[in-house]
Structure 1
Amino acid sequence: MDFTNANHNNGEIFMFQSSSPPKLTQPTPPPPTVIHKAKYKRNSISKSPDEARQKRIELDAQVRRKHREQLITAKRIKHNLDAYKDDDSESEFDLTHQDIERLKSGLNDSDRESRLSSLKDLCTYLADPPDTLRHFVVNDNCIEILIKFLSGTDPDEQLQATWCITNIAAGPKEFCQKAFTAIPHLIAFLHGENISLQDQAAWAIGNLAAEAPECRDLLRANGVLNVTLAQTICFALSNLARGPNANLDEFFSAGITQHLLFYLGAEEMNEVVSEISWVLTYLTSSDDDKYTQILLKEGIVPLLVKHMRSFNHGPLALPLIRTLGNIASGPDDNTDILIQQPDFLHAMLEYIQSDCRPVKKESLWVMSNITATRRPEVLIKVFNAGFIPILSTIATHTNFDIRKEAAYSLLNIASHGEEYMRSLPHQDLLPGFLEFVRSQDMDLIRLGLGYIELLLTQVQNGQQLIEQMHGIDALESVTLLEEPSLRDTSTRLMDKYFGEDFYSNINEVQLVE
């Protein structure tokens, strides 16, 4: 059986008989099961690479929405809400047609202060636009009025108009499409020297890039990737790098990655490092490993590890963890580069014990890719760093989805041979894996059966342990499932180790004694 986080259906267990104690300093295990590591985070076994890639994108969207909601929302509308000082204002606006006409009149007023005040009001209303304002944006001349401000010479009016475009781009598709005409002005602001305009234009571009592939294509066609990278446009870059047709070659040919790594090495603010890491997550999640190899040669790993301790295991660390996991999902040489960093394993040991549930789960996924290595020296370092007791506790004492992630690492370790299997605390682990077998989740049942098979084939008293903990009943319950591979595996184990022949041999031994 294959115990990796990518494919748990096929493969054979390599085993040998030995009564000697574990020798983890100089192991000589048999060749481990062929292991296919997984990029990004997955919740279940995918039937095809395309399905796996789609799940990665969907899960990323969910986690990113959940854990960056406050941050993203603040970047899109915080200036507008700060500018609107009426403490009694409602979160939903009820604007009549007369109110819209007054707003349009203010935007076209000859008095500068009146125009600025109207722009600030429009920014605020766009945060939660009523139907009348939606009509003004989609069917009237709202965008044309804002473009006049963008193409003007007053920096304050340009900034307020860019805020409006940012919130329009954050709205539904028909809003976003209306904002397309502002793209050349936004890109021009990125080239300019006005820092406030650069910042707001970057977030507007990020909102546009998040909408759809055609939006990203339009941004590329207008040369958005040819500008000098500033830390405030990482949100835009991460959205440009999304999807299977992201044209990542453009990022590397434009020198974007060199700027990313420069800021990653120089920046100390966790928020900025997190944004940079989101871009790197997409760049390393490609099925083409050449992009990851380029980043490795440019020295990405020491820079990522450098920031691991500063994040304090909170949600901002998620993209950094995912980037590390994507690197570990590649060839074993990638894992070696990670392991050679003195602080990496110690930091990972802290992350898998994080109180932040998503961080804990993603960190366990990274470790499942680390332990999927074919190189015993890596496992020795994992043992010596103290992972086994922690992984064993997590695999038996938390929620099933978290336990499953820890179980992958433990079974990856066990699949390296009898020496490693015998080094695990089976008295503690077996009850937890039997719970997997008794569950209704096919992935959990498969993990539980995999552990039981290793226990029966590589641990001397494995049969007795299973009997003592009522594991036979758990195996029998699987023989009744409709899923053929699980049913066949359970039936085979029952027949071989707990069938009539097995009990006849036990009785014969007892009679001889």
Structure 2
Amino acid sequence: MDIDFTNNKFENAFTFESSSPPKQPPPPSPTVVHKSKYKRNSLPRNTEEARQRRIEFDAQVRKRHREQLISAKRFKHHESYNDDDDAEPEFTLSQQDIEKLKSGLSNVNRDTRLSSLQDLSKFLVDPPDTLKQFVIEGNCIEILIKFLSGVDPEEQLQATWCITNIAAGPKEFVNKALTAVPYLISFLERENISLQDQAAWAIGNIAIESPEYRDLLRKNGVLIPLINLLNYKDVNLVQTACFALSNLARTPNSGLDEFFAGGIDKHLLRHLKTDESFEVVSEIAWVLTYITSDSDNKYTIQLLEEGLAPLLVKHMRPLLGHGPLALPLIRTLGNITSGPDENTDILIQQSDFLPAMIEFIRSDCRPVKKESLWVVSNITAARRPDVLNQVFNAGFIPILSNIATRSNFDIRKEAAYGLINIASHGIEFMRSLPHQELLPGFLEYIRSQDFDLIRLGLGYVEMLLTQVQNGKQLMESMQGIDALESVTLIEDQSLRNSASRLMDRYFDEDISNEMQQIEETI
């Protein structure tokens, strides 16, 4: 479909007002940071609040999938320990048990000390109250620091393992783990891959806790040693380094100059070119997710100029069947399309990008589907006619229409944003939508109790009545007036006013005639 944009400007009379989306973490929706941040034609959102909820959702997703190294706080488990988030605590330790453990940690026999360190790391996965007290109020950290400052590599590794699990605990635990930061950073530069991996893991757990801790880590010089770990070929080490780096980049514009001065872009692009592991690609994409969320788009543009787009598209289909592993890749694509139209153009030029996006919005994995619909809503907010034409030609409209009218409301809402964006581009685009199919769904939005959905429904009806020749007849045939009347009873004044205005402008005479007929009958 090729549409002429000549003299095709349309000023939408309906005012989309900003509101905080009732969403994630997960319920309701983890995905609503739409292109309003950059695009004048998209629905305004509270972008900072939405971004924070999105980050919280990231943490939950990564924690649930920590066996794949996608976790916000990773515990280092022994093979014999069964990781079950819903299980009862496996260990109950009396104060006498704690004293016995402390005695083992200071035993003159090396094997006893190592065994006690292994037991401690295992107990720290789900610590009972007595062990929590030992960590927070006792001398647990001081004992572990003695191991870290020693000369035995195996004892250093086991002690770092304990620090990793402490850093994955509550904030009181993380505060204690800060003492170990200088040792952890020094271990990153050791020629001991196991120790490097464990230290990076612990640093990643500390970094996730708060912006203040991320600042502290960067000020202590953690970035360059972490970035240098990306030079290694060890898959686990690269994954863990990316885990730590992504957590350090979580704060908006968090010292990205330093990241790029360390050459992180070259390392990430090289791994995307050469690595085929789904887990590695996913971890790299988590780093890119936070880097590409920079507000001024400086580094997103730099990455695109360095060839990021084809590398991302290359990994789309391989990740398609791997559920949450694909989330950071989709999120990165969404961040890119949230920027200037030139960014979207670069992605659109990749021949498999739009076809792969169609597969993603058809995904059976709910978070993947929602994130992908967010990407599509960003694409449809582009102001370039060739982008919209390609969206039509690729076959998105029937799929979006089906989702917007037949899925659960939170998923439908994501598809509706894309359709509203398309309709907002002008009369020809609006008239090209299947309104006979869409209107019943948008009237359901209006009848809902969700103010965001009501706003979307009213916006669609406004454009339908303004731009589609038989829009009024469609509304009348599908009880649209009743839907508008239902809005006049809700609490939100702006929505009541909008619905009343539409009724007065388009249906006042019809309503008056109907009332007159009723009175005459009586």
TM-score range, shorter chain: 0.7 to 0.9
Equivalent residues in 2 for 1:31-50, closer than 5 Å: 31=9, 41-42=31-32
* Matched residue, 2:518: none
Instruction: Check if 1:380 corresponds to 2:389.
Output: yes
Deviation at 1:488, TM superposition (A): 2.4
Task: Determine the C-alpha separation between the residues in 2 that align with 1:115 and 1:143.
Answer: 15
Q: CA deviation at 1:217?
A: 1.8
Aligned to 1:141: 139
Structure 1 residue 36 displacement after superposition:
13
CA distance in 2, matches of 1:397, 1:326: 27
Render the CA deviation track for 1:19-78: whole Å, top value 9, x for unaligned: xxxx6265546136699999x932799999995223312232124313542316977776
Q: Does 1:81 align with 2:78?
A: yes
Higher relative contact order (CA 8 A, sep 6+): 1
Q: Does 1:259 align with 2:254?
A: no
Q: Which ranges in structure 1 are unaligned for 5 or more consecutive residues?
A: 1-22, 505-513
Q: 1:50 to 1:97 in 2, by over 3 A?
A: farther
Is 1:59 aligned to 2:54, yes or no? yes
Q: Give how far 1:164 is off.
A: 0.4
In structure 2, the CA distance between the partners of 1:36 and 1:360, relative to structure 1 (3 Å rule), is farther
Query: Given that residues 83 and 120 in structure 1 are in contact (C-alpha distance below 8 angstroms), is that contact kept between their aligned partners in structure 2?
Result: no
Query: Which consecutive residues of structure 2, in runs of 5 or more, have no partner in the other structure?
Result: 21-29, 38-42, 231-237, 514-522
| Kept after mapping to 1: 8 A contact 2:31/2:370 | no
Please point out which of 151, 155, 160 is paired with 2:149.
Answer: 151
**From 454, 462, 480, the counterpart of 2:489:** 480
- Is 1:118 the counterpart of 2:126? The answer is no
CA distance in 2, matches of 1:282, 1:92: 36
**Which amino acid in 1 is paired with 2:428?**
E
- Separation in 2, partners of 1:118, 1:196: 19
Q: In the TM superposition, what whole-angstrom CA distance separates every residue of 1:258-280 from its partner, at most 9, and x where no partner exists?
A: 21222222221111111111111
- Aligned position for 2:289: 281
- Residue 204 of structure 1 aligns to which amino acid in structure 2? A
Conserved? CA contact 1:29–1:418, under 8 Å: no
User: What residue in structure 1 maps to residue 2 of structure 2?
Assistant: 24
CA distance in 2, matches of 1:133, 1:142: 9
Local SS of the residue matching 2:90: coil
Counterparts in 2 of 1:50 and 1:485: CA distance versus 1, 3 Å: closer
Deviation at 1:354, TM superposition (A): 0.6
For the residues of structure 2 that align with 1:31 and 1:109, how far apart are their CA atoms? 80
AA of the residue aligned to 1:286: D
Equivalent position amino acid for 1:394 in 2: I
Provide the rounded CA distance (Å) in 1 between the counterparts of 2:350 and 2:253: 33
What secondary structure does 1:82 align onto?
A: coil
Closer, same or farther in 2 for the Cα pair 1:73/1:329, shift >3 Å?
closer
Matched, 1:127 2:136: no
Q: 2:326 aligns with which of 314, 317, 326?
A: 317
For the residues of structure 1 that align with 2:495 and 2:426, how far apart are their CA atoms? 23
The equivalent residue for 2:212 is 214
Query: Are the aligned partners of 2:252 and 2:295 in contact in 1 as well (CA < 8 Å)?
Result: no
Deviates more, 1:68-77 or 1:428-437: 68-77
SS at match of 2:209: coil
The whole-number CA distance in structure 2 between the counterparts of 1:73 and 1:362 is 20
2:432 matches 1:413: no
CA distance in 1, matches of 2:3, 2:458: 29
User: What are the residue-to-residue correspondences of 1:231-270 with 2, within 5 Å?
Assistant: 231=238, 232-244=240-252, 246-270=254-278
Structure-2 residue corresponding to 1:494: 503
Number of the residue aligned with 1:294 = 302
Q: Deviations over 1:148-178 (max 9, x none)?
A: 2222232221211111010011112221111
Q: Is the 8 A contact 1:481 1:487 kept in 2?
A: yes
Residues 193 and 251 of structure 1: CA distance in aligned 2, closer, same or farther (over 3 Å): same
Displacement of 1:489? 2.2
The RMSD of aligned alpha carbons is 2.9
Output the CA distance in 1 between the equivalents of 2:443 and 2:341: 32
The one-letter amino acid of 1:420's match is F
Q: Is the 8 A contact 1:277 1:319 kept in 2?
A: yes
- When residues 220 and 355 of structure 1 are mapped into structure 2, their CA distance, relative to the original with a 3 A threshold, is same
Q: Secondary structure at the match of 2:9?
A: coil
* Residue from 426, 431, 437 that aligns with 1:428: 437
Distance (whole Å) between structure 1 residues aligned to residue 92 and residue 46 of structure 2: 44
> Do the aligned partners of 2:91 and 2:123 also contact (CA within 8 Å) in 1?
yes
**Structure 1 letter corresponding to 2:276:** E
The residue number in structure 2 matching 1:359 is 368
Please give the secondary structure, in 1, of the residue aligned with 2:180: helix
Identity of aligned residues (%): 65
Q: Is the 8 A contact 1:44 1:443 kept in 2?
A: no
Q: 1:183 aligns with which of 178, 181, 184?
A: 181
Distance 1:67 1:396, change over 3 A: farther
Aligned position for 1:12: none
Does the CA contact (< 8 Å) of 1:190 and 1:201 recur in 2? yes
What amino acid maps onto 2:203 in structure 1?
Answer: I
Deviates more, 1:147-156 or 1:168-177: 147-156
Report the AA paired with residue 138 of structure 1: I
Find the residue that maps to 1:322 and give its secondary structure. helix
Number of residue-to-residue matches in the alignment: 478
CA distance in 2 between counterparts of 1:278 and 1:403 reads: 26
Partners of 1:385 and 1:416 in 2: CA distance: 18
Residue 195 of structure 2 corresponds to which residue in structure 1?
197
Distance, in Å, in 2 between the alignment partners of 1:391 and 1:372 is: 15
Does the CA contact (< 8 Å) of 2:445 and 2:454 recur in 1? yes
User: Is the 8 Å Cα contact of residues 407 and 447 (structure 1) preserved in structure 2?
Assistant: yes
Counterpart secondary structure, 2:432: coil
Deviations 1:284-330 (A, max 9, x none): 11222212222222222111111110112511111111111111011
Q: For residues 400 and 315 of structure 2, what CA distance do their matches in structure 1 show?
A: 24
Question: CA 1:229–1:168 in structure 2 vs 1: closer, same or farther (change >3 Å)?
Answer: same
Q: 2-side partners of 1:158 and 1:490: how far apart?
A: 68
Could you give the per-residue CA deviations for residues 228-249 of structure 1, whole angstroms, max 9, x where no partner exists? 1422211111111122462222
Matches of 2:436 and 2:349 in 1, distance apart?
33
Partner of 2:516: none
In the superposition, relative to structure 1, how do residues 456 and 36 fare at CA in structure 2: closer, same or farther (>3 Å)?
A: closer
Q: Which residue of 1 aligns with 2:159?
A: 161
Letter in 1 for 2:9: P
Amino acid at match of 1:132: T
Residues 49 and 120 from structure 1, CA distance in 2 versus in 1: closer, same or farther, beyond 3 angstroms? farther
C-alpha displacement of 1:343: 0.7
Contact 1:436 1:445 in 2 (8 A): yes
Q: Counterpart of 2:32 in structure 1: which amino acid?
A: R
Match of 1:82, as an amino acid? E
Distance in 1 (CA, whole Å) between partners of 2:36 and 2:6 is 33
Query: What TM-score do you get using the length of structure 2 for normalisation?
Result: 0.85
